[in-house]
Chain A
Amino acid sequence: MTTLQGVEPSAPADAAAPDHRGSWIPTWSMVTTRFMELRRRKGIMITIFVVVIALPTVFLAIRLLLHAVDPKSYGVAGGANIFAGLVAGVMYVFGFIVAAMLGCTAGSIDLSEGMFRHLVVTGRSRLALYLARIPAGLAIIVSMVAVGFAIICLVCSFAAPTTVSYDGATVPAGLSQPAFVNWAGDHWGTVICQFNFNGPNFGNVECGPNGFVGIAKNGVPGAPTSSAGQPTTAQLRAAAMKIAAQNYPDYAAIFLSPPISLMVGSGLWLLLETTIGFIVGLGLGSLLGQRTVSVILMIVLEIVLTPLLSRNRIPYLLNAQRGLVGVATGHLEPNGLITVVGSGGGPGGNLRLPETTTVAVIVILAWLVGWTVLGAWRMAKRDA
Chain B
Amino acid sequence: MTAVVTAPGGIIGSDRDQWAVETHGLVKRFGDNIAVDGVDLRVPRGCAFGYLGPNGAGKTTLIRVLLGLTRADAGTMALLGHEVPRDRAQALARVGAIVDEPRFHGHLTGRQNLQILAAAREPAAKGRISASLERVGMIQRADDKVSKYSMGMRQRLGVAACLIGDPQLLILDEPMNGLDPAGMREMREMILSLVAEGRTVVLSSHLLDEVERTCDAVAIVDHGHIIRQGPINELLQGASLALEVDCSEPDRAAALLAGTLVDANPVVEHLGLSVSFPAGTPRDVFAEVNRLLVEGGISVYRLQAIQASLESWFLQVTTRLGDPE
Contact = CB atoms under 8 A, between A and B. Distances in A.
A118 B161 contact: yes
Interface in A95-154: 109, 113-115, 117-125, 129
Contact of B197 (A9, A12, A29): A9
B124 interface: yes
A16 interface: yes
Nearest to B186: A1
B227 interface: no
Nearest to B45: A10
B166 A119 contact: no
Contacts of A3: 135, 193, 197
A120 B68 contact: yes
B116 A4 contact: no
Contact of A40 (B69, B108, B126): B108
A17 B199 CA distance: 19
Interface in A39-78: 40-42
Contact of B193 (A1, A14, A36, A117): A1
Nearest to B119: A29
Interface in B63-117: 64, 67-71, 80-82, 88-97, 99-108, 112-113, 115-117
A23 to B, nearest CB: 9
Nearest to A17: B122
B131 A7 contact: yes
Contacts of A33: 112, 115-116, 119
Contacts of A21: 89, 93, 120-122
B104 to A, nearest CB: 6
Q: How large is the interface on B (under 10, 10 to 19, 20 to 34, 35 or more residues)?
A: 35 or more
B163 interface: yes
Nearest to A28: B119
B92 A122 contact: yes
B81 A4 contact: no
Nearest to A10: B198
B25 interface: no
Contacts of A122: 92, 117, 120-121, 165
Contacts of B137: 1
B155 interface: no
B128 A4 contact: yes
Contacts of B67: 120-121
Interface residues of A, number: 46
Contact of A13 (B68, B90, B106, B134): B90
B117 A7 contact: no
Nearest to A113: B105
A121 B92 contact: yes
Q: Is the interface of A mostly helix, strand, loop or mixed?
A: loop
Nearest to A41: B107
A383 interface: yes
Interface string B121-161: 11110111011101101000000000000000000000001
A8 B94 CA distance: 13
Contacts of A29: 118-119, 123, 126
Contact of A17 (B91, B102, B124, B193): B124
A125 B89 contact: yes
B243 to A, nearest CB: 40
Given A21-B121, A124-B120, A383-B70, A16 B106 contact: no
Contacts of B80: 13
Interface string A302-334: 000000000000000000000000000000000
Given A37-B105, A40-B108, A384-B69, A123 B90 contact: yes
A119 B122 CA distance: 13
Contacts of B193: 1, 3
Contact of B189 (A1, A9, A41, A384): A1
Contacts of B112: 33, 36-37, 40
A119 B166 CA distance: 15
Contacts of B274: none
A21 B124 CA distance: 13
Contacts of A30: 119-120
A200 B26 CA distance: 97
A221 interface: no
A1 B137 CA distance: 7
Given A29-B123, A114-B103, A121-B99, 4 more contacts: A2-B131, A115-B105, A122-B121, A123-B88
25 contacts: A1-B135, A1-B190, A2-B134, A3-B135, A3-B193, A4-B128, A5-B131, A5-B134, A7-B128, A7-B166, A10-B46, A10-B168, A11-B94, A13-B81, A22-B90, A29-B126, A114-B102, A117-B100, A119-B116, A119-B117, A121-B67, A121-B99, A122-B121, A124-B89, A383-B71
